[in-house]
Amino acid sequence: METVTLNNGYKLPLQGFGVFQITDLKQCEESVGNALKAGYRFIDTAACYGNEKAVGNAIANSGIARNEICIASKVWIQDSGYKKTMKSFEKTLENLKTDYIDLYLIHMPYGDYHGSWRAMEELYRQGKIKAIGVCNFLEDRLVDLLLSHEIKPMVNQIEFHPFYQQKKLQNICDKYDIQIMAWAPFAQGNLDIFHNETLCTIGKKYNKSNAQVILRWLYQNHIIAIPKSVHEDRIKQNYAIHDFSLTQEDLQTIQTMDKEIPLILNITDLAEVYRLHGITFEQ
């Protein structure tokens, strides 16, 4: 399995599996189990998804050694700040049945994320986290964070798909050697992406689905993707992107699909700030 090396030297698989919105815990556990059987070795979850325990159960029951699987989780807004982040992290370890996390992220650029980062730096130095990063940080807050602390983020997990490629943010991440991880690589089905003619035309050349074309595009651009599915056949299909390569022309064609606006989360929209601050959960 191909990996990417983060700015601290830690390696993460380029292919990950996400569990956002898999709220049925039995289904989540089965899906993660199927992903591991398919070959995935990187599972992405979050405290506010409410399914960390299911992920932990699936990994524990997989028969695969813990050090062969990378796990990512995140601290939510209501647990921002130094003390709350420390407490939330310990609960995440308990839920996941592990004594360390491969990648721990600040979920949103709201609340006392500077306090959260100080806690994460401490946990990183203690070896309880192998890599630390952020989610949904745009250029201004990302640079502010890295200029304000000793350890710079190793990953920025962002909305990233053919319709929203965040080129300006890509440039900043490249400048500071911060790895991009794409959530919603299929744009959550928006704009009929699974039947998009441009992607269909490319896919027909290789007998591949639009989803496989998208994942191969990300793979060849060394962007980590975390597609989600609860269907075993689609999980297998999403992983099966190693028997073809996109040409430079294909890659450039997909670049032209960028609409330069978010389709799912506008992090600067005041309404979103209120909405996301209002989301609570119990771990």
Q: Which amino acid would we find at residue 47?
A: A
Beta bridge partners of 183: 159
Instruction: Measure Cα distances from 170 to 71, 148, 160 in Å.
Output: 24, 21, 10
Give the CA angle between residues 123, 128, 133 to the nearest 5°. 65
Residue 153 · residue 133 · CB < 8 Å: yes
Is 107 among the annotated ligand-binding positions? yes
Contact 210, 187 (CB under 8 A): no
Residue 281 near residue 50 (C-beta atoms within 8 A)? yes
Which of these, 226, 259, 248, 204, lies nearest to 44 by C-alpha position? Answer: 226
Rounded Cα distance, 24 and 28, in Å: 6
Name the nearest CA neighbour of 45 among 226, 275, 276.
Answer: 226
Among residues 10, 49, 113, 219, the one annotated as catalytic is: 49
Q: Where are the extended beta strands (E) located within 66-151?
A: 70-75, 101-106, 129-135
H or E segment at 147?
helix 139-148
Residue 123 near residue 89 (C-beta atoms within 8 A): yes
CB burial string 178-188: b at 16+ within 10 A, e below: bbbbbbbbbbe
Is residue 49 flagged as an active site residue?
A: yes
Q: Do 101 and 130 meet the contact criterion of CB atoms below 8 Å apart?
A: yes
Residues annotated in the binding site, as ranges? 107
Residues tagged in the binding site annotation for substrate: 107
* Active site residue ranges: 49
